Amino acid sequence: MANATRSWHSEEHMPAVPGEVDLSAAPLAVAATELERLYERLRGSGCTLLLIDASGAVLCEKSDPLLKGAFRIQPASPTVARAAASDGDTAPLVVDVSVKPAGESLTLEDLAGEDPQMLRNVRSAYRIADSNVSVLIQGPTGSGKEAFAHAMHMVSRRASEPFVAVNCAAIPETLIESELFGYKPGAFTGARREGMRGKILQSSGGTLFLDEIGDMPLALQTRLLRVLEEQEIVPLGSETAIKVDLHALAASHRNLREMITRGLFREDLYYRLNGITLELPALRDRADRERVIHHALAAETGNGRPAAIERDALQHLLAYQWPGNIRELRNVIRTALAICEGGVVRRIDLPREIREAHSFEDGTSAWQQAGAAATGPGPAAGNPLQAAERAALVRVIQDCHGNMTRVAAQLGMSRNTLYRRMKRHGIPLAHGS
C-alpha cells in the first residue's frame, strides 16, 4: 500500500512571475521551514510531505522510509468540511480508504503494524511457517488470533491447501468428537446417511487451527494428542485408520499452565502444541493503536467513499481501554460509520462508555491532563529526584504530542524502557497515545 502523502503547493506562499516560478531563497526558506515544522507534528504517522512549485516540480520532500503508510490523509471534501463546521470543530481527519479487494485476507504485515511485540511475532512466524514446529498463539479474546493463524498459513508452502478453523469453545461437547474426527454412515442415531469427513481430514495437507484449545474436554485431548503424534485418525464407527498430513496451530486466551496445575489440561498435549508461543498483545497495550484504528476504518468502508473521523472522536478511541480488543473496535467502527452523518464519525456517534472515558470527562485534552499530572502527587512524590524525572517525562511527551517513537528517541531509550518508566511513575498510557 502506498505511503500516505500530503502535498502543499508552494505557489500559495511564493509569488510567481508570469512564465517563471520565483525560486528566490527567502520565500523558499520560509516554505521549507514551515514544511519541516508540519512534518515534526506528523512524524511517525506514515505521511510523506511534498513542497511543490507552480509547475508541479517537487522542491522538497519529508518522509520516513521505515514506515509503511496505510492511508492518504487529505483535506475534507466540501460536504465533509461543511458537516464538521456545523459543530464548530477543527477539520476532520479524512481517510481516503484504499480498501483491500473483497475477500482478500489480512497479511502478516497488516497485522504487525508498528508494534514491537507484533513485529517480533511476525518475524518468528515467517521463520517457522514452513517448518514442523508447533505453534501456540496466546492472547486475550478479540486480539486477532485466528487472523494471525490464517496469515501464517498463507505464507507457508501449504497456502494452496485448506485452512480449517475449529472453535473448541463453540461446539457442544457431545458433537466435538464427530466434528473433529468425522464418522461413518450409521455410526450413531441422527448421523448423516453418507457419513461425514471430520475437520482433521478436511485440513489434511493444509492447516488445522484449534481455537480456544483450553476449552477442549480432557477425554478428547487424549485422542488429539495421539492423532498429532501418529498422523492418523479413526472416524467414529470405523476400525480402519486413515493417514493424514496434519499441521496444527492452537490458540487460547486461557493460562494453560495454570489449567495444567488444576488438572484441566493435559501437560503432554501442552508440550506437544507449544513448540513456540506467540503472544498477541491487548489493543490497549499496542504502541500503534492509531494505525489499528485506521485499518479498522478501512476494513469497514467497503463502498469506496472516504471515511472521516473528527480529532475529538479519534482521541476518545485512543484513550479507551478496549476490553474487547480488536473485535470490539471493529464493531464500534462499523456502527459509527452506519449512523454518522455526512460520512464523518463524531464523538456523539461513539458508544457511551467511550464518549465518557475518564481521560476526557472534564473536557480537557490528554496533553493538558498530562501537564497537570506532572505537578500532581504521583507515586514518586516523596522522592525529589524521581519527581523531577516524572515531570521531565511528561514534558517530553507533551512536546512530542504523544508520539512514543519521538519521545524514546529524544530521551535516548527504547520504547519498552520508556513504557516501563511511565508505568513506574504512574503516567497513564493514554497521555502517550
For residues 85 and 312, the answer to whether their CB atoms sit within 8 Å is no
pLDDT value, residue 277: 95
Query: Which CATH number applies to 366-432: 2.30.30, 1.10.10, 1.20.950, 1.10.8?
Result: 1.10.10
Using 50, 70 and 90 to split pLDDT, how confident is the model at 191? confident
Q: What is the 3-state secondary structure (H, E, C) of 259-323?
A: HHHCCCCCHHHHHHHCCEEEECCCHHHCCCHHHHHHHHHHHCCCCCCCEEECHHHHHHHHHCCCC
Under a CB-based contact definition with an 8 Å cutoff, are residues 432 and 404 in contact? Answer: yes
pLDDT band for position 429 (cuts 50, 70, 90)? low
Helix (H) or strand (E) holding 316: helix 311-319
Residue 111 contacts residue 147 (beta carbons within 8 Å): yes
pLDDT (tens digit per residue) in 82-140: 444 444 444 444 444 445 555 567 889 889 888 999 999 999 999 999 998 999 999 99
> What pLDDT shows up at residue 303?
58
Q: Which residue has the cell 498463539?
A: 137
More confident residue, 46 or 343: 343
Q: Does domain 70-104+288-362 have CATH number 1.10.8.60?
A: yes
pLDDT in tens, 334-361: 899 888 887 788 889 999 999 886 444 3
Instruction: Compute the average pLDDT of residues 157-165.
Output: 95
**What distance in Å separates the CA atoms of residue 238 and residue 183, rounded to the nearest whole number?**
7
Average pLDDT over residues 380-399: 74
Q: Vertex 169, ends 164 and 172: CA angle to 5°?
A: 95
**Would you kindly state where each structural domain of the chain is located, as residue ranges?**
1-69, 70-104+288-362, 116-279, 366-432
Name the pTM for this structure.
0.62
The more confident residue out of 370 and 137 is: 137
**Structural element, H or E, at residue 175:** helix 173-181
211 or 312, greater pLDDT: 211
| C-alpha angle 135-136-140 in degrees, rounded to nearest 5 | 145
Domain 116-279 has CATH 3.40.140.10: no
Query: Whole-angstrom distance between the N-terminal and C-terminal Cα of the chain?
Result: 24
The three-point CA angle 342-332-137 to 5° equals 140
Q: What is the rounded CA–CA span in Å between residue 166 and residue 47?
A: 40
CA distance 117 to 107: 16
pLDDT at 28 over 80: no
